[in-house]
Amino acid sequence: MKLYSNKPLIWMVIVSLWLPVFMSTVLYSEPQRDRFVFTQLRYTGGNWDSYTGVERHVLKFMSTTTSIKPYSTRRVVTAEDELLFESPFLVITGDSEFQPFTNHEVENLRRYILGGGLIFVNDITGRKNTGFDLSIRREFKRILPGSGFKIIPRDNAIYRAFYLLRTVGGRQVINNYTEGIMLSNRLVVIYTQNDMLGVWMKDEFGKYVYNCIPGGESQRLEGIKLFANIIMYCVTGTYKTDVIHQPFIQRKLEVR
Amino acid sequence: MHDIETSVPAIILTVVFALAAGAVTYLFYRKHALRQKVAVWIRLCVYILALMLILQPVYVNYDAPVRKNVVPVFIDNSRSMAYGGPRSRWDEAKVWLNNDALKSLGHRFSLKYYTFSSSTAVPYNLSAGPTGEYTDLSAVFKQVSTEYNNAVPGIIIVTDGIHNNSQINIMAQVKDVAYPVNCVATSAQVEHDIALENLSYSSIAFKNVDTKIGVDITGTGYENTEVVVTLNEAGAVLQKKVVKLDSNGKGRAGFDFLSDYVGERKLSVQAPVIAGELVKNNNVKDFTLSIIREKIRVLYICGQANYEYSYLRNVLKGDPSIELVSFIILRNPENIAFVSDDQLSLIPFPHQEIFMNYLPQFDLLIFENFAYQRFAITPAMLEKLAWFVKEKGGGFLMIGGDNAFGRGGYKETAVERILPVEIGGYEEQVDTQKFNLKLAVPQHPVVALSTDFDENKRLWGLMPELEGCNITGDAKPGATVVGVHPKITTARGSLPVLTLWDYGNGRVMSLASNTTWRWAMGLAKIGKGKELYDRFWSQSVRWLTRGEQLSAVRVVAEKSEVSLNEKVLIKITVLDDQYRLDNSARVKVVVQLPQKDVRTDISDTAMLVKPGEYWVEYLPSTAGKYYFKITAYGRRGLAGDTGITVNAKSFGEDDELRPNMELLNAIAGVTQGGVSSIKEFNPGQLNFLSAKSSAAVKFRYRVWTEWYFYLLLTIILCIEWFLRRMRGLP
């Protein structure tokens, strides 16, 4: 007969070993400072999280190929969340109609844009006139009255912020253009119906999950490059439209 | 004196009459009966009357030319006529007045003499002498128009051709003159003179940008020789040029002048006075250059693509008074490129050109989170940066981050020397916590978001937190710590976050955090927009670049020196309290005249011409310095005041002393007049309209319009009809 049980001791050892790990995870949050944060909007109704984990591929790509230092995890916010104003880059993605934003959310998103924020909107359906498309156009009419979506011209900085682009890629190319809303010469909303996030999705073995239609891998590459350019545009603005770059860019475009 | 005018030439008329007379004579001798001969005569009369009806002759009776036509003679009595040797041009003119050839011209015309120089021609006065301040040849044409209604057979101008009223384009006026203008050119030359003429420069030049200054040199008696021309300021020679005059004694000196500070530069170009020169004051030309900053030129180098760059770039790009050139490191050497280089929009970082060549062209250099060693920037280039600040008066701003201050490798470099804070080595820490900037000097122009102290304090209370701070050393002695960290301390107190100082001629600011973009976002969150963020950076840039940058009222004169009859144009730019162009300002302009204690208010002439830019014009009446005092009022009261001086002088008579034969030949050519030398005067070279054209018509008699002409014609036709009817003539 055992006079005492050694179970408490085992538990004590386990707890003492895991406590620091647990505490560091719970209490310590990684400082953002000057890092790029992939922030995604959670809205009511519809499929707000179409590609869970896509940000890992995006951020790894950006840190490997550019000087951007990304924040390691995705930040999910609502339009009423104060954290919304902690990062000037916001992704809205979906495939179906969603509930209208509340007035407070509309006002917050307007303030976000006026404060320098850039919103990237991605329709994953690969079709036109979807419920998501209708919802997006409806809501941005409320957020920025009088400023509708327009086709972004090909000489805009998003087509040359890092990569020189002549075509528009994506998982399913249904438009050979990207739409956007300009405010005071600044692109504040970028909207694609070509599903530019779907091109990044990989399985656990590193293989791309979705085929790109109709252009295949070259179309995927163009989609990756354009999305990378959009992130670069967020942190450099119209830098690549400065006069000093023009001779270099023009020469490269002519050579290609 | 009389004449017959017809609608056809007289020769045709004569031939027609001769043919008619011949035909009548032939018929007359063929007829034998008296009544037949009478009938022929009657028919002849009818024909003659019919011919008159066709030709409509007019009998013109002229006044007898009892008086001769007046030819006005204008003699130039401006100061330049006093020059020439051994006999002056004025003396030549006086001798010419007794010339026999001129007297012979007086037999044909009545010569009436005038003198002229400035705007009015007056009857000739020999005793007055050549004293006119400047020459305006248009005065001659005005006089002919006023006194003679331009009805003269021609005029004579005795002059050296030096027209120096720059406001009058004399050749444009001459095109409308309907009579010959005959020029008698004085020929007396100045034997020895060096004259600087046609000074060309832009009265407004930009800081750190070359401006060209040029001047023509005319060396009379110094042909094919070398002349040293200097550009001077306050007695000191800035530049020197050796100019070889050509065989006509002409040459030109050019200077490239660069000012490294803003303000007025009172300069002069000068040629040496050589022994024997008659006129000395044409050897120097004074002028003033207003050196302004067209735009504040900012060079922004950022070591990492991040939000801070994007936000600050947006502020700088959105300010119309700032010209931004920026370089941002988009890819580090360790980054992988998975596409070929021609698919990337990257350009090489031109560090060599920037630091060794182009740096002085900028007013402000910004380093944000930038480690210089990774991009082949040498310590020598950093020395150039220090020189840019200390000697050239440039501004330098270092913004924090992982690669700034000590972590950027600036320990023991020239940058450490110019920074207002001490820095450590690579081991320097970066605190990652959020914090509110605590103001130590809230009234400093960089952080004065409002002119009201309490309001400024309230506004800073709204400013969101920054995140992350470089833990530098203490502020250096002499530096101003404007903002500190609220929690972190150093050996001497709170950690300096926003620190400034003057270094040599320039200014330096260090900001130990690169997250001020959070101010913009945080203010937007509470509905304040990003105006306060923009204002902070706008004021920082203006403080760093010093000069007129914090003045809301700026003024430039189109010309710092004008002639007496030339309008002064003053351009005033007014900014509002947020440094935006103010289109609704009230501008008060008071002119202090050269006469002591005489002022005049010309505020009512101020006009808004461009956004925020008001123009006023003023016509000086006497030579001297005019001071324009400008006060502007915006929506919130006084916006600011400033002033500018413009010099009005009558120039020209002592500058260009060579007779201007080109102008005289051109005037005579356009008006179909002639040119003659005063020494070898020959009236045959002059040209006048014929006297007839000027004779007055006494009356005109048009027979064919009288009633009795038609009565006579009817009676004759009736007689002929009667004779034929009664006598049975065929």
Q: Does A82 touch chain B (CB under 8 A)?
A: yes
- Phi and psi at B111, nearest 5°, equal -90, 130
- Rounded to whole angstroms, the Cα distance separating B227 from B217 reads 9
Q: Rounded to whole angstroms, how far apart are CA atoms A14 and B173? A: 108
Positions of chain A with pLDDT lower than 70, given as ranges: 1-5, 20-28, 255-256
B343 in A contact zone (CB under 8 Å): yes
Please state, as a whole number, how many other Cβ atoms lie within 10 Å of the Cβ of residue B359.
Answer: 20
Specify the pLDDT at position B149: 87
Mean pLDDT of B561-568: 80
Residue B645 confidence (pLDDT): 82
- Round to whole Å and give the CA distance between B98 and B86: 19
Q: What angle do CA B226, B232, B234 make, to 5 degrees?
A: 150
Residues in B 10-69 with any Cβ partner in A closer than 8 A: none
Give tens-digit pLDDT for B354-398. 888 889 989 999 999 999 988 889 999 999 999 999 999 999 999
* B150 vs B639 pLDDT, higher one: B150
**How far apart are alpha carbons B555 and B522 in whole angstroms?**
38
- pLDDT classification of B61: cutoffs 50, 70, 90: confident
Query: DSSP strand E in chain A: where?
Result: 39-41, 75-77, 89-94, 118-123, 150-151, 179-183, 186-192
Task: Flag if A66 and B330 touch (Cβ within 8 Å).
Answer: yes
* Predicted pLDDT of residue A1: 45
- Residue B693: pLDDT above 50? no
Q: Output B37 or A54, whichever has higher pLDDT.
A: A54
Most confident of the ranges B282-286, B536-540, B720-724: B536-540
Nearest to A235 among B306, B338, B347 (CB): B306
pTM above 0.80, yes or no: no
- Per DSSP, the three-state class of B617 is strand
The pLDDT value given to residue A208: 94
The string of DSSP letters for A195-228 reads: -TTGGG-B-TTS-BSS--BTTTHHHHHHHHHHHH
Looking at the complex, report in whole angstroms how far the Cα of residue B545 sits from the nearest Cα belonging to chain A: 23
Q: Which carries the bigger pLDDT value, residue B6 or residue B496?
A: B496
Position B36 pLDDT exceeds 80:
no
Mean pLDDT value across chain B: 84
A251 interfacial to chain B (CB closer than 8 Å): no
Cβ-nearest to B467 among A32, A85, A232: A32
> Is pLDDT larger for residue A194 or for residue B555?
A194
- For chain B, domain boundaries: 2-62+697-727, 69-180+660-694, 193-292, 296-334+345-547, 551-648
Please give the residue that has the higher pLDDT: either B680 or B699.
Answer: B680
Asked if the model's pLDDT at residue B634 lies above 90, the reply is: no
* CATH number for region B296-334+345-547: 3.40.50.880
**What number of C-beta contacts closer than 8 Å exist between A and B?**
149
Q: Test A33 with B307 for CB contact under 8 angstroms.
A: no
The answer to whether B69 touches B105, Cβ cutoff 8 Å, is no
- Using a CB-CB cut-off of 8 Å, the residues of chain B touching A60 are none
B1 has a pLDDT exceeding 60: no
Given a contact cutoff of 8 angstroms between Cβ atoms, the answer to whether B155 and B74 are in contact is yes
Whether B431 shows a pLDDT value over 80: the answer reads yes
Average pLDDT for B205-234: 87
Would B69-180+660-694 and B193-292 be classified into the same CATH topology? no
Alpha-carbon distance B534 to B536, whole Å?
Answer: 6
* Contact present, B673 and B157 (Cβ < 8 Å): no
Least confident of B506-520, B548-562, B676-690: B548-562
Coil, helix or strand at residue B82: helix
Can you read off the two tokens belonging to residue B671?
């008006």
Q: What are the residues whose beta carbons fall under 8 Å from the beta carbon of B700, sequence distance 6 or more?
A: B5, B58, B59, B60, B61
The superfamily (CATH) of domain B193-292 is: Immunoglobulins (2.60.40.10)
B 353-392 residues inside an 8 A Cβ radius of A: 369
Query: E strands along B329-416, which residues?
Result: 364-368, 395-399
Q: How would residue B691 be classed by pLDDT, with cut points 50, 70 and 90?
A: low
The least confident of B45-49, B213-217, B356-360 is B45-49
The residues near A48 (Cβ < 8 Å, ≥ 6 apart) are: A40, A41, A42, A92, A93, A94, A98
Q: Which CATH number fits domain B551-648: 2.60.40.10, 3.10.290.10, 2.40.50.140, 3.40.640.10?
A: 2.60.40.10
SS3 content of chain A, % helix, strand, coil (to 5): 40, 15, 45
Q: Do B296 and B363 contact (CB within 8 A), yes or no?
A: yes
Give me the CATH topology for the region B69-180+660-694: Rossmann fold (3.40.50)
Name which of B323, B345, B368, B518 to mutate to probe chain A: the one with the most chain A Cβ atoms within 10 A of its Cβ.
Answer: B345
Contact A34 B345 (CB under 8 A): no
Query: What is the DSSP pairing of strand B493-503 with strand B506-511?
Result: antiparallel
For residue A182, count other CB atoms closer than 10 A to its CB.
13
- d(CA B79, CA B62) in angstroms, rounded, equals 46
Q: Per-residue pLDDT averaged across B641-654, rounded?
A: 75
Please name each of the domains of chain A with its CATH number: 31-255 (3.40.50.12140)
Beta-carbon contacts of residue B242 (< 8 Å; ≥ 6 apart): B226, B227, B228, B229
Q: How far is A118 from chain B (nearest CA, A)?
A: 11
CA atoms within 13 A on the CB side of B34: 0
What is the b/e burial string over A122-148, where b = at least 16 CB atoms within 10 angstroms of the residue's CB?
bbbbbeeebbbbebbeebbeebbeeee
Cis preceding-peptide flag for A214 (omega within 30 of 0): yes
Q: Does B328 have pLDDT greater than 90?
A: yes
**Do residues B65 and B110 lie in contact, with contact meaning Cβ atoms separated by under 8 Å?**
no
- Neighboring chain A residues of B401 at a CB cutoff of 8 Å: 34
pLDDT digits (tens, 9 = 90+) for B137-188: 888 898 898 888 888 999 999 998 888 776 678 888 888 898 999 999 887 6
Cα–Cα distance for residue pair B533/B540, rounded to 1 Å: 11
- Residue A65 touches chain B, beta carbons under 8 Å: yes
Say how many C-beta atoms besides its own lie within 10 A of residue B127's C-beta: 4
Q: Cβ contact (<8 Å) for A237 and B317?
A: yes
